[in-house]
Each structure stands twice: as C-alpha cells, then as structure tokens.
Structure 1
C-alpha cells in the first residue's frame, strides 16, 4: 500500500493503544531466548504438537486455566515443510510468551482439512489458526462458522475471507500498490506488467491497474504467459509493440523474474525500472543475479524475522520457511486477545477489528472490514548479494 494511504499517526490514541501494547510484547521477546543452542552431536527437537497440561479424557480437555487453540497446517504431504515451519514457529511463540494463557494443538490438514477442523472443535478449541491453503479454508469455514469458532488463516486469497475468517497471509494487491506508489514518487509515469496465467496472475493484473490509477500513473500494457520460455518471450514481444514504459512489474516469483528480465532488457524495456511483488522476499538468492540489480519490490520487514530465523535454527537445526513468521504472529495475536478473554467462552473475534492494529514479527498490521490483514510494507531494492530497504515500513496506522 502507498504511504499516503497508511497516513502515519505519531500521536498515541485510544485506538492505537492495543497496537502499542502488542508491539511492546514483540520487542520484549526480541526474541527471548535467542541464545539457546543445540548441543553438538544431538538431534534438534521434534516439533511440539501439543502443550501438555495433565490428563485429557474424552470430550472437552480438562484444562480450566488456558484457552484451547487449534493450529491447522499440513504436517505431511507436499506442503509438509511449510506446515512444519509454521508449527515450529508457533510453538516458539508459545514458549516465548510463557504458555500460561493458551494451550495449542496441531492438526494435520494433509489428512483432510474438514476432518481436522471437526476434531479440533470436538477437542474444545475456541479459535483456529490456519489453514494454509485457500481450498482448505473453504472446507473448514462452514464447520467452524457453525460452531462459532473464528479462523485466523495463513492464506492470502481474499475470496475466502469474511464471515468469521480472518486472513494473515501477505496480500499481493497490497504489495503491488506499495511498490507502484513508490515508483511514482521516483518519477515513473507509464507502467506495464507481466503476469502468469492463473488466479494469482489475474488478481495481480487487476491490482496493478488499480494501483497505477490510484497513484496517478498511466497503464500502457499488461501481458500474460504460461511460464514456458516461448510463452514468456512472446509476452515480452507483444508488450514492446504497444508502448514504451518507465516501470515494469513482474508479478511472479523471483526465479521467473530472473528468466524474464534479460528478455525485457533486449525486448523494449532496456531502461525500464523492474518491480516485483511480495513473492521476491522469500527468495534471497535472486540478489546474486545481476539481471535484477536495482529492482524494487514491497514486502513485510525482515528485521525481526532475521532474529526469529536465528532462534529457529538454534532450536530445530535447520532454516525455517519465510512463512513461519505467520505462525509466530498468530500466537502472539491470540495471546494478546487472551488477556481479556475468559477461559471457556467464545473467542472475541470483534477485537480483531480494532482499527489501531497490531504488531508482530512481520511488522504492523490490522484487519480491514473484510477480514484481510492490511500490512505496513517496506520497499526493498535488489543489490549485490542482498536486499536494501529504500523506503521503510510505516510504524503505525491512521484512523
């Protein structure tokens, strides 16, 4: 999102106090226990799937002191790596916050998202963190809604939000809006885009058209491709036949952008400034590719995530997936809400709509009226071997 839309508010207001308190918690963790190391020669501990608290019999767990929270992620199958990272980071957050307010249990959505949700609700969980995939959210939402159990999902698919489903995932539309707005402040007036065929590409294309219009720029062309070399080259060629452009958005992964950039430079965009989306932040290796040198993309801040990643490696003996921070932040969010949430009662989902917002590993965020996390994004530049922040993320939201 553009900086003008965020409207920074330096003064502390009633609505911003929740954000401030939550931010203090994040800074205080920062991250608590980062010095913990795994002794050499010993394997990293396995991810914890439940916080124990005495015997649990059939029906509702015998836990009268903590809130039951379900974590629904894929722990087996093709997405197991991402799911495990989210679960591990979520458990780190439980440990960092003392584990006195929530009791979290992990359910494997790879075995069936609907069945996982039914089991989680039968076990007495009052809020669901996850699922990760949009199709799993669609399967879980009706079950959770019937039981009055809110969902805080890790998906970024806006079509599954609302009706008790809140999305923590990184929105490509917000990323595009932010980087386009930044490019406009640097003099770009005419914009073009390249996007893959499919749902993501369609939504990215629509988001860019809206962003360029909102920023007062001019959209001169948008082409789609199917990720084959022939199709990508054809899209670049068609784009060159329309009009010249100051900035070009490649709405795809960093790996695909590395393939497209040389074609663009030779095919009509020799001097265009390349722009990317939030996907680039998950691929640090693209900083080693000279073809993207100087390109801009908007994403959540990596400041606190770097600390989380270090702590994660120390505890689990391997690097986390970038999405792991969503698990950590989801636990921080629920722990914050738990301060004013009576054990055994329904989760007070209305609190999530607080306009003052929240803070976490990924920076400031708040949920809009549709239940989608609006994030304070920074703009990063691809430099030699690293990403450099060229426009910091705003610290707070306006009313």
Structure 2
C-alpha cells in the first residue's frame, strides 16, 4: 500500500491516490501486479508543544519530502510533491511511506521533524539555502539528502543533487557544436552566480573539446547592458558560436546583435531554455542549439499528472517523480527500520526516470544523459538524442 501525509497541517487533508502509469519507465522499479489502494488518510494535528510524533511503521521505511507548501514557491513545491506522490502510486509503494514537510516554516524545523518521525531518507529541499541548513542536521543521523537544487556548492557529504546543472548542459552543447565543426566560442553571461558558473563551465568545456575561446562578456539585464556586452564581444573577433547563458527571454534580445556580424555565429543556449513553453515563437532564436534532459517521457507524465490533479505540472516537478522512483528501486534492498543503504546511490550503471538516465558522481551531483535540441518554429527538434545509459 502507498500513503502520503502532510506535516505540519492546520486543516485535515485529502490523501491522493493514483493508478499505475500506462507506460512504465523501463528499468526503474518492478511493477506491482495491480493498482495500489491507499490506506485511510493520516491526520496528525500539531499541538502547542510541537507536532505530534508519528508511530513507528513496521511495514515501510519512512521517506520525507521537504518542499515549500506555502509562500512564494508553494506552487512549485506542491507540483514536486504531487509528482512524488504520483511515482509512489505508480510503483505501488509497498516498502516506503512518504511524509511531506513544509520548508516555508523553516528548513531546520522541517528536517528535525522528519528525523524525529523516523525518516531514513530525505528528498528535497528545493532551495540551496535550505539544503545548507538541512545537510548538517541530516548528517548527524547519517540520513542521506537527495535535494532538488542544482547548486553544486551544496553537494557532497551525504547530499546528492537531482537538479540539472548549467555545467552539464554547456558541456554537452559544446561537444555537439565541436562535432559540427565549431572551433571558436564566445559567450555572453549575466552578472551573478549563474553567470560565474556558466563562465567556468564554458571555459572547461571548450578546452576539453579542443576548441578556443574568443571571449566571454558579462552584462546586466538592462537594454543598454545587453547591447554593450554584445558589442564588446563582437569587437573581440569572429566567433563560430556564441553561448547565451540566460533564459530565452533575454537571449532573444541579444540575438540580433550577435547575428549582426558576417558570417553569423551559431547561437548556443543552456538548460534554462527547456522550461520555455513557447520557444518557437522567438524567431530570433530559430536554429539555436541547447542541451537539456530528454522530453521523450515528459508528455506521458504530463498527461497522467493533468488527469490526476487537473493542473499542468511544472517542468521541474519530474525531479520529485524521479527521486521517488530511485527510492522505490533501492527500497528492495533497504531492510525495514534500518539505515538507508547509501552505497546504492553510487551505482555506476545509473538510474532511469522521466528525465532520462542519470547517476551520482563522487561529488554527489547527478550526471545526466542530455539531448541536444535545435529551436524551430514548432518549438525545438532533437538533433542529438540523449544516450540511454552509461558505459
């Protein structure tokens, strides 16, 4: 049986049950013989002394999902939780029980409550600053954290990242560009942490692929700042390709300046473009390349999600689904009441999910098999499929 509960809560909540997916992600977990029927809802009121502790579960290991369920990120947090619950029911959930904790009331409190309730694995949090708070709390109990962040600075020492990092996306698209004869790379990156990481990633990727850098220019997101950065890059000399390390809305503003030179350089993007719902409408970006997780399984996931929740899932919600698939797969080797077998997270063969194949490196960051897409009038076409696994 599968169950889900929300803590803390002020009002009774409804247990959400799902039938099995019509199409199961191959190789993820064994499918149960029939649909899972959830047990009655568990409602545990919060007392003035703090939330009541959950009773021991003798048939399942407890897995905590730490996401924001109130505040400005509540919609994304709820989408992640819905996706996690969908995965629980799609796999039957015979050996794990999920309980959700709202990090909007404090990530430390959420983590402490989860551990006090006997959780042996934490999925989440979403935000890097919350991961930094949760990590030492979980480490004291030797409980692994599989976070939804993509900030590599919080990975390691029992913290694993499911998020898609810009470095992986840039490395993949640069390798593809080199295979198409691109030699000289330039880049426009925003001021700030993301831009700094994109700069380092591009430098390493170009060097590793045997290309050369013509220059990297930073910008603020004002109209003048964008124009000036593009002009500075153009003045550095001809680039065969230019990376725009930003969302598509900024990239489309930079594209005319980049393509004002002759011959026009190939435009490259990052994983941020994968979240754009109307990318094909940006005529200035047509023909650009970017790398992202495969969309091959997302349509089926979105259909199942919409049928169950009458809502459109956030693109990032697949991280919640895939994290539960991973936990369900390992649950077969996780004795009830014992510590989570963290060594299983280091399987060199990796895991499969909605977003394709992935595996965790020694640094705790998920290495992903990404595809390369080309922007077209219809959105984006795959020009280099994602590998199905790892050698």
Aligned to 1:183: 177
More contact order relative to length (CA 8 Å, sep ≥ 6):
1
**TM-score, structure 2 normalization:** 0.88
| Count of residue pairs brought into register by the alignment | 360
* Contact 2:31–2:91 (CA under 8 A) maintained in structure 1: no
Aligned to 1:197: 191
For the residues of structure 2 that align with 1:327 and 1:228, how far apart are their CA atoms? 35
2:124 counterpart of 1:135: no
For the residues of structure 2 that align with 1:230 and 1:22, how far apart are their CA atoms? 47
Aligned to 1:24: 27
Per-residue deviation, 1:62: 3.2
Query: Structure 2 vs 1, CA of residues 389 and 198 (structure 1 numbering), >3 Å: closer, same or farther?
Result: same
Per-residue deviation, 1:284: 2.7
TM alignment of 1:163-312, pairs within 5 A: 163-266=157-260, 268=261, 271-312=264-305
Query: Structure 2 vs 1, CA of residues 108 and 351 (structure 1 numbering), >3 Å: closer, same or farther?
Result: same
Aligned to 1:385: 378
For the residues of structure 2 that align with 1:310 and 1:183, how far apart are their CA atoms? 33
What do residues 128-186 of structure 1 show as CA deviations (whole Å, max 9, x unaligned)? 00001100000100100011111000111111001100111001101000000000111
For the residues of structure 2 that align with 1:275 and 1:28, how far apart are their CA atoms? 40
SS in 2 for 1:212: helix
* Contact 2:31–2:92 (CA under 8 A) maintained in structure 1: no
Query: Structure 2 vs 1, CA of residues 78 and 270 (structure 1 numbering), >3 Å: closer, same or farther?
Result: farther
For the residues of structure 2 that align with 1:132 and 1:330, how far apart are their CA atoms? 12
What do residues 183-209 of structure 1 show as CA deviations (whole Å, max 9, x unaligned)? 011111100001110001000011001
Aligned to 1:318: 311
What do residues 237-256 of structure 1 show as CA deviations (whole Å, max 9, x unaligned)? 11111111000000111111
What do residues 22-81 of structure 1 show as CA deviations (whole Å, max 9, x unaligned)? 84247979xx99xxxxxxxxxxxxxx9x98479999545231101100000111111111
2:321 counterpart of 1:328: yes
Query: Structure 2 vs 1, CA of residues 107 and 54 (structure 1 numbering), >3 Å: closer, same or farther?
Result: closer
Unaligned segments of structure 1, at least 5 residues: 1-20, 34-47
For the residues of structure 2 that align with 1:51 and 1:88, how far apart are their CA atoms? 18
Moved over 2 A (4+): 21-29, 50-62
Aligned to 2:146: 152
Query: Structure 2 vs 1, CA of residues 225 and 92 (structure 1 numbering), >3 Å: closer, same or farther?
Result: same
SS in 2 for 1:340: coil
SS in 2 for 1:363: coil
For the residues of structure 2 that align with 1:382 and 1:177, how far apart are their CA atoms? 18
RMSD, aligned CA: 2.2
Q: Which structure carries more helix by proportion? A: 1
TM alignment of 1:33-48, pairs within 5 A: none
**TM-score, structure 1 normalization:** 0.86
**Larger deviation, residues 302-311 vs 323-332:** 302-311
* Contact 1:26–1:360 (CA under 8 A) maintained in structure 2: no
Query: Structure 2 vs 1, CA of residues 163 and 391 (structure 1 numbering), >3 Å: closer, same or farther?
Result: same
